[in-house]
A and B are shown apart, each in its own frame.
Chain A
């Protein structure tokens, strides 16, 4: 009994010794709490609820159970958008090995690192809308730069972003180009933590750069590569801007066959004002992202090296 009653005063005294009354804590998190509750927690619950409702543009909605979800499963547009987001994500994952090699190259050179970092980072700080416009011009089928360059090599040009057969791949290339800078910085920070002695020792043993990359850099950098992979998947599944700008024609609709999940969500919830259906799309997106992330954490044991 005494043992059970003894701790609280001691704890209170300790708390009193460490800081002022708990009300200070509540007061300081109050702005964050109010904001996050009103703008994130509550909207999240609302969206979740709406996904089970039929929501007319005006007036209250009615509960319809799983109707939105069963409609989604039978909706060809949804599966197509889902597939497009999958393709886009897969293409962006190709950017991870590219970034890994480039990060290692930058680490190896003795001068000029800062210049490369800045040049590779430029797309990150440029408006995605602006980037989309520039690439749309480069991809132009009639007088775009890409088709001209390809013609120099005798390759037949295409209407890259006006043709569903190519559009999502063309956008994927831009996505890799855009995300390279961020990936390089994260991987570069990971490279800093590899002890230089390892490279020196292996150089003395006669190991070349390529061998060092596979035997030292890659295993020791794998936690950072893993982080970049997880972040790439999460952000690629949420891609919106590039589709919105690059694929919209003058009549304000994107190429039908090349929409991504988030574009479809935007169109349903905020253009057609079918919020219930849009909400269901968003909830499915959440599930897909969670599943993809959990899966990657499961698989990491196979290839990520922690010391």
Chain B
């Protein structure tokens, strides 16, 4: 059971206090998008063995969504940041690069 820190209220809590929300930094494709783009938005998810960016909601706390950068193999959490962020913050990217030199970026 993971320990995560909510970047909105600052609380470090048990995984059961949070609700998972799947892959982060997706781009919504609505009306007018072609079938491939829409399919990719709806269904094609990364299945990363390594550094992963995922959405979590502090469901039994402040209720805010946030994003966690986490290694799916070692479970190391590199950091969490608010959901209102379009790409991983530089500080977290630097931290990941330092620990995982082979990391190819979040895209």
Partners in one complex: no
A residues near B (Cβ < 8 Å) are none
